[in-house]
Structure 1
Amino acid sequence: MIIAIVNQHDNPDRTVIARNLAVLRARSGRRVCLMSTARDGDWATERADAAVRPWIDTRQVGSRAVKTRLAALRPLFNDILVDAGARDTEQCCCVLASARLVVVPVRGSEIDLDRQYRLLARLNAARAFNPGMRVLFVAVCGADGPCEEERAAVLAHVARVQDASLANVVLHRPAGHDYGPGRCVCDAETCDPEAAGEMHALYDEVYATLPKLALPPAAQLGAAHALWG
């Protein structure tokens, strides 16, 4: 299964979520590949050098033949997670056209109309080629959030995207700490249990409850409205 993680800002939330989902999925015994459409630094190398387990197979999405490369990797892995970036690139469009689920972290305090509509257009264009694609937004906020304005902004944002759902979990500053070379939130469960718990809850919504995404989007959004109240 291919899952893409995209957002509308070049903040680290997208990459943090992709890495943690990959780590948690690999812990379950699945063969996982983490791909990126941008230079992802030396995170995987640092992780291997620090002997942090599980080891994560990482790949770079090149500027050409993305669809062909994904097709070649599918038989080798149970799950492929792709950090597909924040920009409307050819690589991102190809990934979205192949993804079963698209995860979109969004900060209510950073939504702006120009980027919002560009993201909307990107997702809707992908659905024309990939009608079964699901979109799951994840609210991200500061340690004390979300405030009422952030709640309203996130709910309005999700409502403007066709067939989108909002995750029940809220992530509080997922990129707020450095857990050491090659480590992520889910490698620091004893020293930061609350943040790790939020990532586990997101993992459950993405994977363990994935079939529920087949419910009518209105029902999914209605549940989110009830939770965010």
Structure 2
Amino acid sequence: MIIAIVNQHSSPDRTVVARNLAVLRARSGRRVCLMTTGGTSESDWCNERSNAGVRPWIDTRQVGSRAVRTRLAALRPLFNDILIDAGTRDTDGCRCVLAASRLVVVPVRGGALDLDLQYRLLARLNGARAFNPGMRVLFVAVSGPAGPDASERAAVLAHVARVRDATLAETVLHAPAAFDYGPGRCVLDAATCDPDAAAEMRTLYDEVYATVPKMVFAVEAQMGAAHALWR
């Protein structure tokens, strides 16, 4: 299954969510690939993780800007789950990723919305449905330690309402990018992690994968078994 993580500005929340979801998914015994549509941050992080001997190990690939559909089609038989940090920019690569994703996760800070950038993202999400009508969109509210307050909630809900069939996660992430847990590490495998932040990520993980019908996993299992017979 392909899950894209996008947001409307360059905050690190998107990358933090992608990495933690990948780690939790790999811990469940799934073959996971963590990808990005630009830059080398995910590749560097995965290499740091491997060099530090942190487990589970996470495979990584670069999406690139050309032949995205072909590349994803080639990777699907190799992995149970592909999580893609699709960035902030409206690129051909990002559009192709959205067109191929089963679910799109959108971390959003209600108190730091750039309305111009946010509306562009909402238009991109709505436009992707023309090519991918089964795509689900899950917004995730991100706030400081004491939030979100009423105005932040209202801002996030207003944007959720502008994307057809989008939903808002019950989980609220409180400052998930506030700490550096060391090279190749995230809150879930840090030696001295923040238990509240780790619990929020686990709850979000449960929500993310609860949005996908169990039938999808049954089909994927059958496809994986068929692929194994031909190897």
CA offsets, 1:96-149, max 9 Å, x none?
A: 000000000000011132112101110111100000000000000001111111
Instruction: Quote the offset at 1:209 in angstroms.
Output: 4.8
Instruction: Quote the offset at 1:160 in angstroms.
Output: 1.1
Match of 2:35 in 1: 35
Instruction: Quote the offset at 1:38 in angstroms.
Output: 1.5
Supply the distance in 2 between the matched residues of 1:210 and 1:196 (Cα, whole angstroms): 22
8 Å contact from structure 2 (residues 2, 84) kept in 1: yes
Question: TM-score by structure 1 length?
Answer: 0.90
Supply the distance in 2 between the matched residues of 1:40 and 1:4 (Cα, whole angstroms): 17
Q: Which amino acid aligns with 1:40?
A: T
Supply the distance in 2 between the matched residues of 1:25 and 1:189 (Cα, whole angstroms): 19
Matches within 5 A, 1:91-170: 91-170=93-172
Instruction: Quote the offset at 1:93 in angstroms.
Output: 0.1
Instruction: Quote the offset at 1:208 in angstroms.
Output: 3.8
Question: TM-score by structure 2 length?
Answer: 0.89
Instruction: Quote the offset at 1:190 in angstroms.
Output: 4.9
Supply the distance in 1 between the matched residues of 2:68 and 2:3 (Cα, whole angstroms): 14
Q: Which amino acid aligns with 1:53?
A: R
Structure 1 residue corresponding to 2:67, chosen from 49, 55, 65? 65
Q: Which amino acid aligns with 1:28?
A: S
Supply the distance in 1 between the matched residues of 2:191 and 2:123 (Cα, whole angstroms): 38
Match of 1:44 in 2: 46
Secondary structure at the aligned position of 1:137 is classed as strand
Which structure 1 residue ranges, 4+ long, deviate > 6 Å from structure 2?
none
Structure 1, unaligned runs of 5 or more: 213-229
Match of 1:179 in 2: 181
Match of 1:217 in 2: none
Match of 1:83 in 2: 85
8 Å contact from structure 2 (residues 181, 193) kept in 1: no
Secondary structure at the aligned position of 2:122 is classed as helix
Q: What is the aligned length?
A: 212
Q: Identity of counterpart residues, as a percentage?
A: 78
CA offsets, 1:140-178, max 9 Å, x none?
A: 000111111101111111111111000000000110000
8 Å contact from structure 1 (residues 188, 196) kept in 2: no
Instruction: Quote the offset at 1:210 in angstroms.
Output: 2.9
CA offsets, 1:188-221, max 9 Å, x none?
A: 3753110000000000001145339xxxxxxxxx
Secondary structure at the aligned position of 1:194 is classed as helix
Secondary structure at the aligned position of 1:110 is classed as coil
Structure 2, unaligned runs of 5 or more: 215-231
Supply the distance in 1 between the matched residues of 2:159 and 2:40 (Cα, whole angstroms): 28
Q: Which amino acid aligns with 2:4?
A: A
